[in-house]
Amino acid sequence: MGKITAILQAAQQRAKEMNLSYEGALYPGEAYEILQSAPGAKLVDVRTRAELDWVGRAPGAVEIEWATYPGMRQNPHFIAQLEQQIDKEALVIFICRSGVRSNAAAALATRSGYSDCYNVLEGFEGEKNAEGHRNTLGGWRVSELPWEQS
């Protein structure tokens, strides 16, 4: 069994254990490995434009807001925008700040006909620490995966 297969099987098992409605749940390093090794895999960052500009972004990610800032109103065009940029047969990995919005995005995409959706557990910034700060406990940045800031 290859490395990609093993990662995807572990992610699928996590999804079953967590009772998720989509294909799998990946840790940041696993998501990056898939993106580097699986042809056609796509990372979809669902954070707001403000987050992308102020906090940073993963190079090459497709950026589609799940909710708009300010007000955090759900983007009514999310699926239409996703369909314009990502094939329904692609392996799609969703990411947000902490994994909550991307969880919802992966679930909606699955209900909308995307067959291979994954969520990045811990998200881009990870969970809050005891002082209420992010970027110290898990996440894409703490894992030292590629990112850039405007």
Per-residue pLDDT reduced to its tens digit, 120-144: 999 999 888 888 888 888 899 999 9
Nearest to 141 by CA among 40, 47, 75: 47
Over the chain, what is the mean pLDDT? 95
Give the pLDDT score at 42. Answer: 98
DSSP strands (E only) in 8-79: 24-26, 42-45, 62-63, 67-68, 73-74
Mean pLDDT across 1-16: 94
DSSP strands (E only) in the chain: 24-26, 42-45, 62-63, 67-68, 73-74, 91-95, 116-120
- Of the listed ranges 22-26, 30-34, 79-83, 132-136, the least confidently predicted one is 132-136
What domains can you pick out in the chain, each with its CATH number?
A: 3-120 (3.40.250.10)
